[in-house]
C-alpha cells in the first residue's frame, strides 16, 4: 500500500493510499474548519453548512445529488467535528469521475436554497432536541463546556435552538467564504486508485478555486470546570477528564496504550475494578479527545446516583496506581490491541482514507504503517507511567454529570483522591 501526497498550484493538497487488493475506493474532502472556528453568533453553523452542502447546486437539486450517487451503488455522507468538516463517498472505481464531480459540485457550487435552509433548520433543531433527550450524548457536550468554558471548543457542535433559528443565508455564505478555500481543503482517497490519475481529475475540477480568508484559531485554556444537570433518570451519567497534549507519534501511542490498559476493554483496570469486582456500573470506558493544540484524557461511566462518589474514588485510585508503574503483561496486552486495531482498520478503504486525512490534518504529514508500528513497539511501561503521572499531577480535573442527584464530590475533593490513593 503506497501513500502519496501532492499539491496543486492553488495550494489544494491531495493524499492517497493505493490499495492493490481493494475493489472499491473511498474519496472525500476534509475542510480545516469546524465548530471551533465559529464566531459568537455562529454556534452550530459549521454543522448546518455540512447539511446544506447536499441540498442543491447550480447543476443538481438535493434529490439528484443523492440519486446519482446511489444509482451506481455509492454511499455518501459527511460529519462535522470541532476542528474539521468532512464530505466523503464510497464508490466502485469506474465511477470515480462521478465522485469527484459530486464532491466538487457540493463544495464549490452550492446554491444554499432558502426553502432548503428552512427545512434543514427544522431537521437540526430536531437533532438538537434528540441530543438533549439522550443523557449519554448531553454529558459529552457538558464535559466540553467544563473543559473549555466559553471558548468555542466548549460549545456543542450542533449549536443551540436559538443560534440555529437565527442563521440566514448570508451567515452561511460568510462562513463558507471564510473557510472553504483551496489551502483549507484536503482531498483524501484510498482503495483501487492511482494517485496521478486522481490528481489530474482533481486539477480539472478544483484547480482554479481560490483561497479563503482563514483566521488564526484562538488558543484554548483549560477551565477545570464543572457542569451538572439534574434529570429524572435511573442512572447518573458522569465524565471526568484531565488536560493532555500529544507532541509526537510516540506520545500519541503511549496515550492510546494508557487508555487501553486503564479503561479500554474487558481486561482493563477500570472494567475489572469498577464493574467486575465492585459492580458499580454497567458501562465504563476511558478516552482521549485530541485537537491541534491540546486535548483531554477522560472517563465516562453510567452508575447509580448513590454510588457516583465511590466510583470516582476507585477511578482516581487506579489512575494513581498506573502512575506508580504498570506490569509488563499489561503493556504487552495494550500494544497487541493497538497493533491489531491498526492492521484490521487497514482492510477498510474508508478507514484508511479517514486515518490518512486525520494524520495530515492533525500532524501535517502522513504517517506510514512502518512508522506507526515502530512507535507502537517503542511503548514501554515507563512512558505510560510517566504519562499517567503528568495527568495526575495536572491537579485540574473537569467534571460533568447528568442524573437524578447532583450530590457528587467537588473537583478539589476528586483531585485530592489522586494523591490520597
Residues tagged active-site: 50
- Residue 317 has a CB neighbour count (10 Å cut-off) of 16
- Residue 114 has a CB neighbour count (10 Å cut-off) of 10
The number of residues in the chain equals 421
Give the dihedral of Cα atoms 16, 19, 20, 22; nearest 10 deg. Answer: -120
Residue 263: which of 292, 241, 230 has the closest Cα?
A: 241
How far, in Å, CA of 274 to CA of 240, rounded? 15
When computed from its CA atoms, the radius of gyration of the chain, rounded to whole angstroms, is: 23
Grid look-up 448531553 returns 138
How far, in Å, CA of 218 to CA of 210, rounded? 24
Answer for the pair 181, 66: CB distance below 8 angstroms, yes or no.
no
How far, in Å, CA of 359 to CA of 141, rounded? 25
Q: What distances in angstroms separate CA 262 from CA 22, 70, 288, one per listed residue?
A: 36, 43, 12
Cβ partners under 8 Å of residue 21, min gap 6: none
Which residues lie across from 191 on neighbouring strands?
A: 18, 25
Mapped onto helix, strand or coil, the DSSP state of residue 403 is strand
DSSP string of 248-288?
SHHHHHHHHHHHHHHHSSTTSHHIIIIIIIT--EEEEEEEE
Pairing of strands 236-243, 185-191: unpaired
Amino acid at each position: 500500500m503506497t501513500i502519496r501526497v501532492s499539491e496543486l498550484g492553488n495550494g489544494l493538497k491531495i493524499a492517497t493510499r493505493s490499495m492493490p487488493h481493494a475493489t472499491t475506493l473511498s474519496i472525500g474532502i476534509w475542510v480545516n474548519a469546524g465548530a471551533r472556528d465559529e464566531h459568537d453568533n455562529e454556534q452550530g453553523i459549521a454543522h448546518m453548512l455540512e447539511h446544506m452542502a447536499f441540498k442543491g447546486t447550480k447543476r443538481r437539486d438535493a434529490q439528484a445529488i443523492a440519486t446519482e450517487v446511489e444509482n451506481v451503488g455509492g454511499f455518501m455522507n459527511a460529519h462535522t467535528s470541532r476542528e474539521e468538516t468532512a464530505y466523503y463517498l464510497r464508490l466502485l472505481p469506474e465511477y470515480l469521475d462521478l465522485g469527484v464531480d459530486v464532491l466538487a459540485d457540493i463544495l464549490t457550487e452550492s446554491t444554499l436554497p432558502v426553502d432548503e435552509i428552512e427545512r434543514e433548520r427544522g431537521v437540526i433543531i430536531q437533532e438538537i432536541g434528540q441530543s438533549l433527550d439522550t443523557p449519554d450524548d448531553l454529558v459529552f457536550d457538558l464535559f466540553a463546556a467544563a473543559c473549555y468554558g466559553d471558548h468555542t471548543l466548549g460549545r456543542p457542535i450542533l449549536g443551540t435552538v436559538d443560534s440555529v433559528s437565527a442563521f440566514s443565508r448570508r451567515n452561511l455564505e460568510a462562513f463558507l467564504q471564510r473557510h472553504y478555500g483551496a489551502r483549507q481543503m484536503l482531498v483524501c482517497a484510498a482503495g483501487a486508485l492511482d494517485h496521478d490519475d486522481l490528481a489530474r481529475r482533481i486539477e480539472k475540477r478544483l484547480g482554479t478555486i481560490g483561497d479563503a480568508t482563514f483566521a488564526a484559531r484562538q488558543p484554548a485554556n483549560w477551565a477545570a470546570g464543572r457542569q451538572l444537570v439534574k434529570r429524572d433518570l435511573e442512572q447518573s451519567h458522569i465524565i471526568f477528564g484531565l488536560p493532555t497534549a500529544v507532541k509526537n507519534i510516540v506520545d500519541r501511542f503511549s496515550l492510546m496504550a494508557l487508555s487501553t490498559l486503564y479503561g479500554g476493554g474487558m481486561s482493563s483496570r477500570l472494567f475489572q475494578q469498577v464493574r467486575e469486582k465492585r459492580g458499580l456500573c454497567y458501562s465504563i470506558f476511558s478516552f482521549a479527545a485530541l485537537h491541534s493544540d491540546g486535548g483531554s484524557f477522560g472517563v465516562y461511566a453510567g452508575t447509580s446516583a448513590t454510588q457516583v462518589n465511590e466510583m470516582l474514588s476507585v477511578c482516581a485510585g487506579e489512575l494513581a496506581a498506573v502512575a506508580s508503574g504498570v506490569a509488563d503483561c499489561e503493556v504487552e496486552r495494550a500494544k497487541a490491541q493497538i497493533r491489531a486495531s491498526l492492521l484490521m482498520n487497514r482492510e477498510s478503504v474508508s478507514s484508511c482514507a479517514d486515518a490518512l486525512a486525520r494524520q495530515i490534518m492533525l500532524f501535517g504529514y502522513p504517517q506510514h504503517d512502518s512508522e506507526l508500528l515502530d512507535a507502537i513497539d517503542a511503548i514501554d511501561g515507563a512512558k505510560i507511567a510517566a504519562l499517567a503521572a503528568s495527568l495526575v499531577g495536572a491537579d485540574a480535573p473537569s467534571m460533568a454529570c447528568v442524573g437524578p442527584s447532583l450530590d457528587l464530590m467537588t473537583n478539589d475533593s476528586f483531585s485530592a483522591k489522586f494523591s490520597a490513593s
